[in-house]
Copies of this chain bind each other. A is one copy, B any other.
Amino acid sequence: METRELRYFVAVAEERHFGRAAQRLGIAQPPLSRAIQQLERRLGVTLLDRANRTVALTEAGAVLLCEGRAALAAVEAATRRTRRAGSGLVLAMKAGASTELLRRLLDTYGEPVEVVLCGIAEQARMLRDGRADAALLHLPFDATTGFDTQALHTEGQVVVLPPGHALADRPHLLTAETAALPLARWPGPDGEFVDGPGPQVRDSAQLYELIALGRAAAIVPESSGTHLHRDLPAVPLIDAPTVTTVIAWPPHSRSRALAAFVHAAGLIGQAA
């Protein structure tokens, strides 16, 4: 199966319309129809149901859409990483992750690294399609499914409260005691917010502003709670799961540069 055929099929499967797919691909509709027919003939299965003037996926079509996307991403990744070979690594991380940890990692590695800030879903996509070589993730929150990982740092979590809050003087808190707090809600992987009493936030500046105003509280890893905003009280949450910062990369990827970077991460993980 050729990449061209896969691109054509994925376009039709996503658009469910030969005309629009052809337009998206920048070709005319007839060659697209023929290409899909040929693909079906070569695979020996029907991929699309063209009954009733609508295009629907068959079961085999659904499988090929899913597997084909992954295969196209792998081919793109090969192209991108080959072009980038020799120049620096690209590291995808979330905004708000520990800058202190990152600084130590980059220092230990020594070579130049391009850092890209994005959301968790985008991080995974960038690793898969080769736009990034590695990503910083946080267990147990982020799924590392499909990637190799190396632990960098493990820490507890703290509750960040408005100044003068009733709980601010406590030596530590339990998760149950935070139930009544207006805990800030972050957007999930799908961009949606879960329901809850607290305000919705999209970045850490916004979060800390809301806390300072007494409108929110937040449960965050120690390092972000204590290092960034000394003026806000942060109380250890002793029964919360510990947060592990890990570096993740596609399992087959083992270029010299990436291997050295992971090795540097291992040194930091040991030291911590």
| A residues whose Cβ falls under 8 Å from a Cβ of B | 1-4, 6, 43-45, 47, 58-60, 62-64, 66-71, 73-75, 77-79, 81-83, 85-86, 130, 145-148, 250-256
Contacts and interface: CB of A to CB of B under 8 A. Distances in A.
B145 A66 contact: no
Given A45-B85, A62-B85, A146-B147, 7 more contacts: A1-B78, A6-B78, A47-B82, A60-B86, A67-B77, A70-B250, A71-B75
4 tightest Cβ-Cβ pairs between the two chains A and B: A67-B78, A146-B251, A60-B85, A71-B74
B75 A43 contact: no
A228 B186 CA distance: 52
Contacts of A64: 78, 81-82, 85
A68 B255 CA distance: 13
Given A3-B3, A4-B2, A148-B145, A43 B82 contact: yes
Q: Identify whether the interface residues of A are mostly helix, strand, loop, or mixed.
A: helix
A140 to B, nearest CB: 15
A62 B255 contact: yes
Contacts of A45: 82-83, 85-86
A74 to B, nearest CB: 4
30 contacts: A1-B75, A1-B78, A1-B79, A2-B4, A3-B3, A43-B79, A44-B83, A45-B82, A45-B85, A45-B86, A59-B256, A60-B82, A60-B85, A60-B86, A62-B85, A62-B256, A63-B82, A63-B255, A66-B252, A66-B254, A67-B74, A67-B253, A70-B74, A70-B250, A71-B71, A74-B74, A75-B75, A145-B147, A145-B251, A146-B146
Copies of this chain, complex-wide, total 2
A81 B59 contact: no
Nearest to A71: B74
Contacts of A43: 79, 82-83
A2 B1 contact: no
Contacts of A86: 45, 59-60
Contacts of A67: 74, 77-78, 81-82, 130, 252-253
Contacts of A47: 82
B252 A69 contact: yes
